[in-house]
């Protein structure tokens, strides 16, 4: 085990102020020397190493316990950082950079030779992102190299949205953790493949298809995102893995409307399981918390956690991974969760939740017509 130093950086400092901090200089030096530093971004925490150093990338895979055919995203601080590592920037990518960078958008380009295959998981393309977090940008500048950074979780755990989550997974495995508070957005960046035309979304995120289409016209979506039964393989290698599976089986309960009927079905399912002596988790929205509390009041073995207001998808994205991590600590036997409309930011939320549930979904309307509870 190595000693991991955990260092706070003040989110309110300007980029310039951050750049002059000793801890940022030190973190940059660690990366330049081939070591690993976890750092905050606006999406989730990243586990950073020198993207141009094959040994550093290998260390990232090892620290995460991640299969090495799953490529890393290179994080840059300015346009020159992209020019240095990609063969060409198509005009549509240029427009997206202007509209969304720095920000939660990752784009795939043909890579230059300087980027080692270890970083790209053997691919001739490289994923690039300019994060919108002053601490992240200051770190990239201090390192003087593009920073390869997957989410800073052990493989198979939810992405970390706080420095505490990173500590839980990686303490003793990396040199440093920069603690910049809780990550704003809470789900990973949107990934768009710019090597094809029309460009294609490989992973949904905060930047939606609609937002992209406003800037560059037609944008495709990898069919495996919108159709769980699609025959093709996801184009982003990382989307092929089950990714995160909660310790307890997770069931999503959906309805065609505002969640009311799903909440009712969850109350019944949770009550039944709790009556059988199981420890049950409920992931619910603020709108229905009271209903869950009342209907399961007789069962101390039901644990209810709020994921935010249904009317506020940004809050739900922000809380999602934290709530899933909390349930892993609660040692519940099963979890029921409300589901959300799969549009705009909801597409990213449902993409992560469905994966966590292994696509185990109950339709509330069907539940009430099929079951004996008439
Ligand atoms: O928001 C984010 O993107 C965060 C923060 C830290 O920036 N990073 C992140 O990295 O989510 P990671 O490694 O957890 O996810 C990277 C995804 C994987 O699904 C990977 O397969 C895909 O990007 N990817 C990377 N390079 C690719 C390439 N050349 N072609 C296709 N997919 C690629
Ligand atoms: Mg990840």
- Residues 265-283: pLDDT tens digits? 999 999 999 999 999 999 9
Q: Residue 69 has what pLDDT?
A: 85
- Residues 37-70: pLDDT tens digits? 999 999 999 999 999 999 999 999 999 998 888 9
The pTM score is 0.96
Nearest to 147 by CA among 39, 70, 225: 39
The tokens describing 145, both together, are: 């190299």
Residue 139 has pLDDT above 90, yes or no: yes
Query: Under the phi-then-psi rule, with left for phi > 0, alpha for psi from -120 to 50, and beta for the rest, what region is 78?
Result: beta
The verdict on the CB of residue 265 being under 6 Å from ligand 1 is: no
CA of 150 to the centre of ligand 2 (A): 6
Among protein residues, the one with the nearest Cα to ligand 1's atom 18 is 238
Q: Residue 284 has what pLDDT?
A: 98
CA of 306 to the centre of ligand 2 (A): 23
The secondary structure of the chain, three-state, reads: CCCCEEEECCCCCCHHHHHCCHHHHHHHHHHHCCCCEEECCCCCCEEEEECCCHHHHHHHHHHHCCCCCCCCEEECCCHHHHHCCECCCCHHHHHHHHHHCCCCEEEEEEECCCCCCCCCCCCCEEEEECCCCHHHHHHHHHHCCCEECCECCCCCCCCCCCHHHHHHHHCCCCCEEEECCCCCCCCCCEEEECCCCCCEEEECCCCCHHHHHHHHCCCEECHHHHCCCCCCCCCCHHHHCCCCCCCCCEEEEECCCCCHHHHHHHHHHHHHHHHCCCCEEEEECHHHHHHHHHHCCCCCCEEEEECCCCCCHHHHHHHHHHHHHHHHHHCCCEEEEECCCCCCHHHHHHHHHHHHCCCCEEEHHHHHHHCCCC
Atom of ligand 1 nearest to the CA of 75: 7
Among protein residues, the one with the nearest Cα to ligand 1's atom 25 is 71
Instruction: Tell me the angle at which helices 91-100 and 209-216 cross, rounded to the nearest 10 degrees.
Output: 120
Q: Which of 222-231, 243-252, 336-345 has the highest mean pLDDT?
A: 336-345
The residue-averaged pLDDT of 13-33 equals 96
The tokens describing 172, both together, are: 């003793």
CA of 188 to the centre of ligand 2 (A): 7
The verdict on the CB of residue 355 being under 6 Å from ligand 1 is: no
Residue 367 has pLDDT above 90, yes or no: yes
Better-predicted residue by pLDDT, 119 or 69: 119
Residue 237 has pLDDT above 70, yes or no: yes
Residue 374 has pLDDT above 60, yes or no: no
pLDDT class of 372 with cuts at 50, 70, 90: low
Residue 242 has pLDDT above 70, yes or no: no
CA of 43 to the centre of ligand 2 (A): 11
Residue 238 has pLDDT above 90, yes or no: no
What count of Cα atoms within 13 Å lies in the side-chain half-sphere of residue 261? Answer: 13
- Best of 64, 237, 321 to mutate for ligand 1, by most ligand atoms within 8 A of CB? 237
Share the mean pLDDT of the chain: 95
Quote the CA–CA distance of 266 and 169 in Å, as a whole number: 31
Task: Kindly list the distances between the CA atom of residue 119 and the CA atoms of 2, 67, 126, 157, 303, in Å, as whole numbers in the listed order.
Answer: 23, 12, 8, 21, 41
């Amino acid at each position: 085990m190595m000693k991991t130093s955990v260092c706070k950086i003040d989110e309110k400092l300007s980029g310039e102020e951050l750049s002059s901090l000793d801890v940022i200089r030190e973190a940059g030096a660690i990366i330049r020397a081939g070591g690993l530093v976890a750092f905050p971004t606006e999406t989730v925490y990243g586990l950073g190493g020198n993207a141009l150093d094959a040994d550093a990338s290998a260390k990232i895979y090892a620290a995460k316990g991640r299969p090495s055919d799953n490529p890393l995203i290179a994080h840059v601080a300015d346009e020159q950082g992209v020019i240095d590592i990609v063969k060409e920037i198509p005009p549509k990518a240029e427009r997206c950079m202007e509209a969304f960078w720095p920000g939660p958008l990752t784009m795939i380009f043909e890579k230059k030779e300087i980027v080692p295959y270890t970083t790209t998981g053997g691919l001739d393309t490289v994923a690039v992102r300019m994060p919108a977090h002053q601490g992240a940008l200051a770190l990239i500048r201090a390192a003087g190299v593009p920073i390869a950074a997957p989410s800073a979780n052990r493989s198979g755990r939810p992405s970390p949205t706080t420095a505490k989550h990173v500590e839980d997974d990686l303490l003793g495995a990396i040199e440093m953790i920069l603690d910049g508070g809780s990550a704003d957005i809470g789900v990973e960046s949107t990934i768009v493949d710019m090597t094809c035309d029309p460009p294609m979304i490989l992973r949904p995120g905060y930047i939606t298809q609609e937002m992209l289409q406003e800037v560059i016209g037609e944008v495709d979506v990898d069919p495996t995102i919108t159709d769980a039964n699609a025959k093709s393989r996801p184009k982003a290698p990382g989307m092929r893995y089950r990714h995160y599976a909660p310790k307890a089986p997770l069931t999503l309960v959906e309805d065609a409307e505002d969640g009311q009927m799903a909440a009712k079905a969850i109350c019944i399912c949770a009550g039944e399981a709790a009556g059988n002596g199981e420890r049950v988790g409920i992931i619910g929205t603020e709108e229905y918390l009271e209903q869950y509390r009342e209907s399961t009041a007789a069962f101390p073995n039901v644990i209810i956690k709020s994921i935010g207001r249904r009317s506020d998808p940004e809050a739900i994205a922000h809380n999602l991974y934290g709530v899933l991590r909390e349930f892993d600590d609660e040692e519940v036997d099963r979890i029921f969760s409300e589901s959300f409309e799969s549009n705009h930011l909801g597409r990213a939320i449902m993409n992560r939740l469905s994966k966590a549930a292994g696509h185990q979904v109950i339709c509330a309307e069907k539940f009430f017509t099929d079951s004996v509870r008439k």
